Chains A and B, each alone.
Chain A
């Protein structure tokens, strides 16, 4: 019975933890501009994160090694350092966006300017990481994130033309008046929002923190095969809500308040309350994960003791990196830099950096010495190789597209 509970909990936390500020912004903005015709990018991204996270989780369970430790081992110190630089920078950028996202969510309920919340949020993130147990942290915020299910209820309640929505989703096309480059730029953003590197850093390091072993591989699979698709469903319902409410009016989504609008239209104040709880849970949870990931990546590259599984004083440099990253997030956040813009940059750059971390994990997942019988099977390898090629193509296209479309304007 306890094992069943453990599995359900894992699924729930994966689902609730899947949506972060990047998903909130990207899915709504895309739904508003393109209706459902980019739904395929979300599906592609969700399958991708399933493949990536399953491998990273399996490798962590069998070898007790987390992603960045293996990145350096397989790529060497020099290539690993370049990888660290890029990954760390993007993770800090994401942290800035998530902290701002929590602050914006509080602004929605209080009419107090979000800038005033930023230092408080930063401090709260640090305090939770410093004192709260890893499993508690994961469980509480994962479950609270389930409040986002209200967006699914809302879209049903809006009584949309389902056949029309389905038609646009299954027959993707660039709408008249829109350029191809911008269409694909949005596709990359959705892809990057679904396949964020920090999620894999966190998932893999978390597997080691929770001392998963070979016998937990079922738990790993359940988390990944059930939790992430359900999370993808939340993303699609955000897209559908924006497609139904904003797309016909030709209105773009530039503010977090707009992301909440379809739900409050459908379900009134109660719906709005739930969705804001959902926003806070998702962004705060993601802030915890990204702050920890800043520590994980740097510590695992240099070989420092990391993690919440030891006393803070026994992982001194790890905690120093975590608190420094939070301080940076606070300092940058209060300069009133546009959090939505930072979010967009963080997800697009994530898409560009994915191959760097995906590639070593794919290699280790095929290493018979490390994995024994748990190496990738031929089918999984075929799908994983497809994604390797896809990620490389996406990474190569990202910066040129960003420049050509002036970041999607």
Chain B
């Protein structure tokens, strides 16, 4: 599975509510130890949001604080959807269990 296959895919809940599109993937270094002697990266959650442009600028998850005009335009916290909340995944959409999202908050 490639990252590019996840990005931009529409995410909906089992109730049919559209949460947005996949912007980013949260990786955590807690996998099995690899050849170089350190833990691998595992995909824990997807960042899902509505706005498509400006997600890489660094206003939401990054450390960009200004200028205030751009910050106002691009600072929109995405919804964090845990990977294990995914019920069904295809090339066009990802269906998630609403209940498991709220659990993680």
Contacts and interface: CB of A to CB of B under 8 A. Distances in A.
Interface in B32-75: 53, 55-58, 62-70
A242 B34 CA distance: 70
A299 interface: no
Contacts of B64: 363-364, 366-368
Given A73-B56, A79-B53, A369 B62 contact: yes
Given A362-B70, A363-B70, A385-B69, A74 B63 contact: no
A382 B67 CA distance: 7
A373 to B, nearest CB: 13
Contacts of A73: 56
Contacts, number: 50
17 contacts: A74-B57, A74-B58, A76-B56, A79-B53, A363-B70, A364-B64, A367-B64, A368-B63, A368-B64, A375-B66, A376-B66, A381-B68, A385-B67, A385-B68, A385-B69, A385-B70, A388-B67
Contact of B57 (A363, A375, A378, A389): A363
By Cβ-Cβ distance, the 3 closest A-B pairs, closest first, are A369-B63, A381-B67, A366-B66
A367 B62 CA distance: 8
Contacts of B55: 76
A368 B71 CA distance: 14
A389 B68 CA distance: 13
A139 B66 CA distance: 36
Interface in A350-379: 360, 362-364, 366-370, 375-376, 378
Using C-beta atoms within 8 Å of the partner chain, give the interface range for chain B. Answer: 10 to 19
Q: Specify which of A76, A366, A376 lies most central, judged by the most chain B CB atoms within 10 Å of its CB.
A: A366
Given A367-B62, A369-B62, A376 B57 contact: no
Interface of A: 73-76, 79, 360, 362-364, 366-370, 375-376, 378, 381-382, 384-385, 388-389
Contact of B67 (A362, A369, A370): A362
Interface of B: 53, 55-58, 62-70
A233 to B, nearest CB: 30
A367 B69 contact: no
Contacts of A378: 66
Contacts of B57: 74, 360, 363
Contacts of A368: 63-65
Contacts of A366: 64-67, 70
A74 B67 contact: no
A375 B66 CA distance: 9
B102 to A, nearest CB: 30
Contacts of A363: 57-58, 64, 70
A364 B70 CA distance: 12
Contacts of A382: 67
Contact of A75 (B56, B62, B65, B68): B56
A79 B65 CA distance: 22
A73 B62 CA distance: 13
B38 to A, nearest CB: 22
Contact of B63 (A362, A367, A376): A367
Given A360-B57, A368-B64, A385-B67, 20 more contacts: A74-B57, A75-B56, A363-B64, A367-B62, A367-B63, A367-B64, A368-B63, A369-B58, A370-B63, A375-B65, A376-B66, A376-B67, A378-B66, A381-B67, A381-B68, A385-B69, A385-B70, A388-B67, A388-B69, A388-B70
Contacts of A388: 67, 69-70
A368 B66 CA distance: 10
A75 B52 CA distance: 11
A366 B69 CA distance: 12
A355 to B, nearest CB: 12
A389 B58 CA distance: 20
Contacts of B58: 74, 363, 367, 369
B91 to A, nearest CB: 18
Contacts of B67: 362, 366, 376, 381-382, 384-385, 388
B34 to A, nearest CB: 24
A207 B55 CA distance: 28
Instruction: Give the residue among B55, B58, B68 with the most A Cβ atoms within 10 A.
Output: B58
Nearest to A366: B66
A73 B57 CA distance: 8
A34 B56 CA distance: 44
